[in-house]
A and B are shown apart, each in its own frame.
Chain A
Amino acid sequence: DTEVTQTPKHLVMGMTNKKSLKCEQHMGHRAMYWYKQKAKKPPELMFVYSYEKLSINESVPSRFSPECPNSSLLNLHLHALQPEDSALYLCASSQAGLYQETQYFGPGTRLLVL
């Protein structure tokens, strides 16, 4: 099973709303990732969690707040977003550490900020 699931599939929110994106995997992977993808562009890395600890933050604005409650779950909390934050948000997972290999992506959450 190489499945990463994400909810919701679509999300529309206003600039004053607070919402959360959820990601789940049951492959025993200990590294999980959030990416942002704009149309016709490759995914851009936002955050990496390794063994439930934040290991990489690619200088993401504080209106995006990641959380890793356990080894299978990853959340992205959204607050006071801007219209330019509208994008496909992708979660991925992989083995962690020295033997990190390939990453498996979820289907994404398509976010529209009005």
Chain B
Amino acid sequence: QKEVEQDPGPLSVPEGAIVSLNCTYSNSAFQYFMWYRQYSRKGPELLMYTYSSGNKEDGRFTAQVDKSSKYISLFIRDSQPSDSATYLCAMSARGNEKLTFGTGTRLTIIP
């Protein structure tokens, strides 16, 4: 079993829809949770960063962490064609320099 599981997709949704992306993990030491967006042939861009459990909102993006279930989510409201990209979840334990990534979900927003 991988430490971090993420559905690779592809996921296609119409413009304006709410998108839900998810990752599950097995290592209870993880405390820092990140979502990166990666456009084709570019480097990952940090979208959201959350420490421990709870919700964080930034514009159209909401990140949720449920440590009791070892489950994290990213919601995108009012999705736009420019949101089409691969979304990578990543996590790390405190004081641990190693990020563990999910495999990435390829998302396409259809105009």
Contacts and interface: CB of A to CB of B under 8 A. Distances in A.
A42 B98 contact: no
Interface residues of A, number: 31
Chain B interface size range: 20 to 34
B42 interface: yes
Nearest to B88: A42
A90 B43 contact: yes
Contacts of B41: 88, 110
Contact of A97 (B45, B95, B98): B95
A90 B46 CA distance: 14
B97 A43 contact: no
B44 A90 contact: yes
Nearest to B51: A101
Interface in B15-69: 32, 34, 36, 41-46, 49, 51
A41 B88 CA distance: 10
